[in-house]
Amino acid sequence: MRVGLFATCVADTMFPDAARATAMILERLGHEVVVPREQTCCGQMHMNAGYRSEALPLAERFVATFGEFDAVVSPSSSCVGAIRELYPQLLAIDPPLLQRTMELSEFLVHRLGVEDVGASYPHRVTYHPTCHSLRVTRIGDAPLRLLRNVKGLELVELPDATECCGFGGTFSIKNAGTSSAILADKCSAIESTDADVCTAVDGSCLLQIGGGLSRRGDRVRAVHLAEILAST
């Protein structure tokens, strides 16, 4: 399959290893991965912050950049959720491309039927299901199925896993106090698992969780799911 890789502005800028790992996993499975040079941002931040007219050209740009691919895969369920759920309202049309756009783990499990990518990662890992992966793109347990097949990986359950981490885009700045209060509980839950690594499918949530853990002086690292699945 010819797959367009949508890195997202967050991963491109701050989590390039997650985007690189996404390409690596897909190529190992025999797919042709193309990284269009013209890609930038899906516009989710502008849509979510009330700047709909500023988001419109970014949505149009995404459709123009990725329209030609059989599938578009991204290491972010939040951006994929914005594309699939918000673009139809924003663009007032529903191009078939939107339904071909998927987050990595849902693409692997739901589209390709792959649950074992041959990865090896000898660490104690806990998984935080991000809100948009649970309630917007609804990827279900796809990431857990993949993690269970990683060699050497000890998966530990996160208490109150489905609770938000408090990121919420501009919410994390505009309502920094509330965002931090929500994060504090998430960090405590992660600490209680005694895991080495907390993983998730969204760079933005990992930015929040990783930033909180680091400030608390925790040894737990926040690592994107793609990086675990690409490890051998």
Among positions 16-35, residues that touch other proteins (CB under 8 A) are 16-17, 19-20, 23, 33-35
Helix H, strand E, coil C: the string for 181-214 is: HHHHHHHHHHHHCCCCEEEECCHHHHHHHHHHHH
In single-letter form, the type of residue at position 126 comes to T
Considering only 99, 120, 170, 192, the residue that binds other proteins (CB under 8 A) is 170
Size of the site for other proteins (CB under 8 A): 71
- The answer to whether residues 37 and 61 touch, using CB atoms and an 8 Å cutoff, is no
Considering only 84, 100, 128, 132, the residue that binds other proteins (CB under 8 A) is 132
Rounded CA gap, 171 and 40, in Å?
22
Considering only 9, 26, 102, 147, the residue that binds other proteins (CB under 8 A) is 9
Shortest gap between Cβ of 129 and other proteins (angstroms)? 11
- Nearer to other proteins by C-beta: 86 or 117? 86
Rounded CA gap, 43 and 86, in Å?
10
Q: Report 188-227 residues binding other proteins (CB under 8 A).
A: 207-208, 210-212, 214-215
Shortest gap between Cβ of 113 and other proteins (angstroms)? 26
Shortest gap between Cβ of 190 and other proteins (angstroms)? 14
- The answer to whether residues 73 and 102 touch, using CB atoms and an 8 Å cutoff, is yes
Considering only 179, 193, 199, 231, the residue that binds other proteins (CB under 8 A) is 179
- Nearer to other proteins by C-beta: 214 or 232? 214
Shortest gap between Cβ of 52 and other proteins (angstroms)? 5
Structure token pair of residue 213: 């853990």
- The answer to whether residues 105 and 163 touch, using CB atoms and an 8 Å cutoff, is no
Provide the 8-state DSSP code for 151.
Answer: B
Q: Report 63-102 residues binding other proteins (CB under 8 A).
A: 86, 89
Q: Which residues of 19-53 are buried (b: 16+ CB within 10 A; e: fewer)?
A: bbbbbbbbeeeebebeebeebebbbbbbbbeeeee
Q: Does 136 bind other proteins (CB under 8 A)?
A: yes
3-state secondary structure of 32: strand
Shortest gap between Cβ of 224 and other proteins (angstroms)? 12
Considering only 92, 93, 113, 173, the residue that binds other proteins (CB under 8 A) is 173
